[in-house]
Amino acid sequence: MSYFDLFKALIPEAIITGIALCLLAVDLAALRPQSMSVRLRWCGGMAILGCASAIGWMLLQPAQLQAGMLAIGPLTQWIKLSLLILTAFIAVISFSARFTVHVGEYFALLLFATVGLMLLVSADNFLLIFLALELLSISLYALTAFHKNRLASAEAALKYYLFGSVAAAFTLFGISLLYGVTGEIQLSGINAHLSAGHQEPIFYIALVMTLAGFAFKLAAAPFHFWAPDVYEGAPTPIAAYIASASKVGSFFVVARILWTAFPGARGGASAPGWMPVLVVLAVISMTLGNLAALMQRKVSRLLAYSAVAHGAYAVLALLAAPQQGLPSLLFYVITYALTALGAFAVVGVIEASGGRAELKDFAGFSRRAPLLAFCLLVFMLSLAGIPPLAGFFGKFYVFTAAAEATPRLSLLWLVILAVATSAVSLYYYLQILKQVYAAAPLEHLVWSPPARSSQWAIVLLAGTIIVLGCFPSLLLTRIAAVLSAHPF
């Protein structure tokens, strides 16, 4: 394998990086005198163009690389594709951003975060995983603080940064222990070492440390404390990004680590291994996330807690066997990402009208914007898991996979808990919808219709969720195709 092959395999990442640098230059050199909306359009347009060209390249030149630090195959390509689409959506809903004057930097950071994510999903090596993770995180810390006029934004960024660095330290510590135990930082190498039968107690410490670091990224309780503040404080498109693209990438990499590096250390309900750790994380997250969400008055915080709960459901898929677990996980996180993205986009519309995205700011929304209100209805019901929306099938698939995971239904109790907490969640989603549909509109909010582009984006997302709910096979067959070619 030559360096040229390696470069060819990394061309999508290179395109995005290049575009990000161009963006900075163009904004600095040419766009400064222009009005905000022009700058937003140009920069956003360039970012979308970058994503589109990377997507185009991947579709035209499918890469296959299974050596060294990178493992690129149809599956990772496909995940990157989804990440790029999500990023493009974020760029679209950022068009009406009013929170910053540093447009070029904003989009460049967004693209850098995306590059981090793309490397994260392609990495087959703990060191690269850590580097990619840091690239992603640092970009996101900065983006979170981008709302310069809001104290909450700075506070959120600081919290995010502090928690994030501690978590990164944990991860690094875990990785170094792993290296110490196995002498490997290659995922497949660790597996080979483990299968040879060497499992010292310290290995489990390493495992727990590593997982703890990722649990932070997934906002799984009890590592979720940053999430509500960040979702509330960060600019809405960034919160959407954290909830969608970042979630997809992180879950994918966790799945990859667990199933390629530690399949032998799976463990059982009582045996040591990563399964009990995940069970504990899932139980705490789904209970705490859903119960805490019941008490929220701000929709962004509510969505944060709901994200914690949804993370727990995705963890259920990790507990299943890879044959069922991986497709259900992918379907679940991707549909969740689309839904969360849509929900945040609508929250952004409300905030742009001067609301603070409190529950009562949604009052009478259906009278003002029937179409957007309907889209919000779709997003909320999909999050609650109501058929025929994608969120329902996602949950259903995950629960079925988890129930099938162990013989004699020994994980069924967890599924029961998941279904029960999911039933509880309907309450708070309906609280939002009640305001939207049943309450009378508030007078003091001046309704400003959102940009047409973000409106289209929202409608497109809602449509996708309905279509994927009615015909999940559309996505499932794609997933099956990429999985059958070469898992991981």
CB of residue 270 to another protein, shortest distance in Å: 21
Q: 260: how many CB neighbours lie within 10 A of its CB?
A: 18
- Detail the DSSP E strand segments found in 1-79: 65-67, 70-72
Q: Residue 427 corresponds to which amino acid?
A: Y
Nearest to 402 by CA among 282, 226, 243, 290: 282
Identity of the residue, 153 or 455, whose beta carbon is nearer to another protein in the bound complex: 455
User: Would you state the structure tokens that stand for residue 48, as one six-digit string?
Assistant: 């979308």
Is 327 a binding residue for another protein by CB under 8 A? The answer is yes
Task: Please say whether the beta carbons of 216 and 87 come within 8 A.
Answer: no
Q: Is 365 in the site for another protein (CB under 8 A)?
A: no
Binding status of residue 179 toward another protein by CB under 8 A: no
Candidate ranges 1-9, 67-75, 386-394, 447-455; the one touching another protein (CB under 8 A)? 386-394
Q: Please tell me what DSSP assigns to residue 358.
A: B
The Cα 272–Cα 385 span in angstroms is 33
> Is 412 an interacting residue with respect to another protein (CB under 8 A)?
yes
The dihedrals phi and psi of 73, each to the nearest 5 degrees, come to: -150, -175
Rule CB under 8 A: say whether 394 interacts with another protein: no
Of 236, 298, 229, 299, nearest to 97 by C-alpha is 236
For position 359 contacting another protein by CB under 8 A, the verdict is no
**Interface segment toward another protein; rule CB under 8 A; list 41-49, 95-103, 171-179, 379-387:** 379-387
**CA distances for 383 relative to 88, 342, 403, 429, angstroms:** 22, 11, 21, 8
- Using the rule CB under 8 A, is 294 a contact of another protein? no
Closest CA to 97 of 47, 61, 53, 131: 47
* Whether 390 contacts 470, CB under 8 Å: no
Rounded least distance, CB 363 to another protein, Å: 13
Give the residue with the Cβ less far from another protein, 166 or 485: 485
Segment contacting another protein by CB under 8 A, of 15-23, 75-83, 251-259, 392-400 = 392-400
Is 360 a residue that touches another protein (CB under 8 A)? no
Strand stretches in 322-456, DSSP E = none
Count the Cβ atoms, other than its own, within 10 Å of residue 409.
Answer: 11
Place of tokens 């496909």: 78
Q: Pick from 231, 472, 482, 488 the residue near another protein by CB under 8 A.
A: 472
Question: Residue 399, interface with another protein (CB under 8 A)?
Answer: yes
Using CB under 8 A as the binding rule, whether residue 480 contacts another protein is answered as yes
Sites for another protein among residues 420-439 (CB under 8 A): 420, 422-423, 426-427, 430, 433-434, 437-438
- Considering only residues 321, 419, 442, 466, which one is a binding residue for another protein as defined by CB under 8 A? 419
Which of 78/392 has CB closer to another protein?
Answer: 392
d(CA 211, CA 319): 14
392 binds another protein (CB under 8 A): yes
Encoded amino acid at 351, one letter: E
Phi, psi of 367, deg, nearest 5? -75, -30
486: exposed, middle or buried (Cβ count in 10 Å: 0-12, 13-18, 19+): middle
Sign of CA dihedral 418, 478, 136, 242: negative
The burial of 408, by beta-carbon neighbours within 10 Å (0-12 exposed, 13-18 middle, 19 or more buried), is given as: exposed
Stretch that binds another protein, among 39-47, 91-99, 203-211, 465-473 (CB under 8 A): 465-473
Which of the ranges 50-58, 286-294, 311-319, 466-474 carries the binding residues for another protein, by CB under 8 A?
466-474
Nearer to another protein, 44 or 472 (CB): 472
Q: For residues 236 and 324, which CB has a smaller minimum distance to another protein in the complex?
A: 324
Indicate the residue among 38 and 295 with the shorter CB distance to another protein.
295
Instruction: Output the six-digit token pair for 262.
Output: 């530690």
Which value, to the nearest 10 degrees, does the dihedral of the CA atoms of residues 398, 402, 405, 411 take?
A: 180
Establish if 131 lies at the interface with another protein (CB under 8 A): no
Q: Which stretch binds another protein (CB under 8 A): 14-22, 220-228, 297-305, 390-398?
A: 390-398
State the Cα–Cα distance between residues 329 and 75, nearest whole angstrom. 13
- Sign, CA dihedral 446-451-452-457, equals negative
Q: At what angle do helices 390-405 and 322-352 cross, to 10 degrees?
A: 150
Residue 397 within binding range of another protein, rule CB under 8 A:
yes
The stretch near another protein (CB under 8 A) out of 282-290, 299-307, 357-365, 474-482 is: 474-482
Minimal distance, residue 46 CB to another protein, in Å: 37
Task: Pick from 8, 476, 485, 487 the residue near another protein by CB under 8 A.
Answer: 476
Candidates 353, 358, 404, 442; binder of another protein (CB under 8 A) is 404
| 353 belongs to the binding site for another protein (CB under 8 A) | no
Among 25, 416, 448, 449, binds another protein (CB under 8 A): 416
Residue 125 binds another protein (CB under 8 A): no
Q: How many residues bind another protein (CB under 8 A)?
A: 36
- At closest approach, how far in Å is the CB of 439 from another protein? 9
Using CB under 8 A as the criterion, which residues of the chain lie in contact with another protein when the complex forms? Answer: 327, 366, 374, 381, 386-388, 392-393, 396-397, 399-400, 403-404, 409, 412, 415-416, 419-420, 422-423, 426-427, 430, 433-434, 437-438, 471-473, 476-477, 480
